């Protein structure tokens, strides 16, 4: 049975122009290593292909720990022009957390 990111991390979506930024924050700091390994720029780019994302950059904040993914050309021209239901892309955090990750022992239980 596969796990989704939602079970081990949380995220918030922000927007600047046509760029979306998505934080990815493990509930358990010990899961940062797993996230670093499996949530790569390439996997996020592939996951967001339906949204038209052209490039993904990943930044790390080690003392939290947390990651910040910056996705270009992801908001249909930005909230002033977007035809989408969610022009600001605030629901894209949930889409990121829907990503499945390979089944491996994490030692973590779903957070409540």
Partner 1 sequence: MRKTTVRLGGGSACAEDWIDPAVELAEKGELDYLCFDSLSESELSVVALRRIQDPTAVGYDQFLDDRMRRVLPGAVRNGVKIIGNMGSGDPVGAARRTLEIAAELGITGLKVAAAVGDRVLDDITDWDLVTAEEGLPVNDFGDRLISAHAYVPCDSVVDALAQGADIVLTGRIGDAAMFLAPLVHEFGWAADDWDHRALGIVVGHLMECGGQLTGGYFSDPPYKVVPDMHRLGFPIAEVGADGSVVFSKVEGSGGLLTPATCKEQMIYETTDPHNYLYPDVVIDFSEVGFEQVGPDRVRMTGQVRGRPAPDQLKVALGVREGYYSEATVWYGGAGAHARAVDAVDMVRRRFEHLGLRPLRLRIDLLGVGGMYGDGPLTPAAREALWEVGLRVAVHTRTAEEAVVVVREGTNRLANNGPAGVSAQQRGDSTREIVGYHHTFIPRERVSTVHVVLQEEMA
Binding site for partner 1 (CB under 8 A): 6-7, 10-12, 14-19, 21, 23, 25, 27, 50-51, 57, 59-64, 66, 68, 70, 77-81, 83-86, 90-92, 94-95, 110-112
Strands 9-10 and 19-26: antiparallel
37 or 81, CB closer to partner 1? 81
The residues facing 58 across adjacent strands are 69
Give me the least distance between CB of 103 and partner 1, in Å please: 18
43 or 64, CB closer to partner 1? 64
């Amino acid at each position: 049975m596969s796990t989704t990111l939602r079970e081990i991390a949380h995220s918030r979506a922000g927007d600047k122009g046509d760029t979306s930024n998505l934080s990815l924050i493990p509930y358990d700091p010990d899961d940062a290593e797993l996230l670093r390994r499996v949530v790569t720029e390439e996997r996020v780019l592939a996951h967001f292909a339906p949204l038209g994302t052209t490039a993904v950059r990943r930044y790390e904040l080690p003392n939290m720990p947390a990651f910040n993914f910056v996705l270009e050309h992801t908001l249909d021209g930005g909230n002033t022009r977007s035809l989408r239901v969610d022009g600001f892309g605030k629901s894209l955090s949930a889409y990121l957390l829907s990503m499945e990750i390979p089944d491996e022992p994490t030692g973590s239980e779903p957070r409540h």
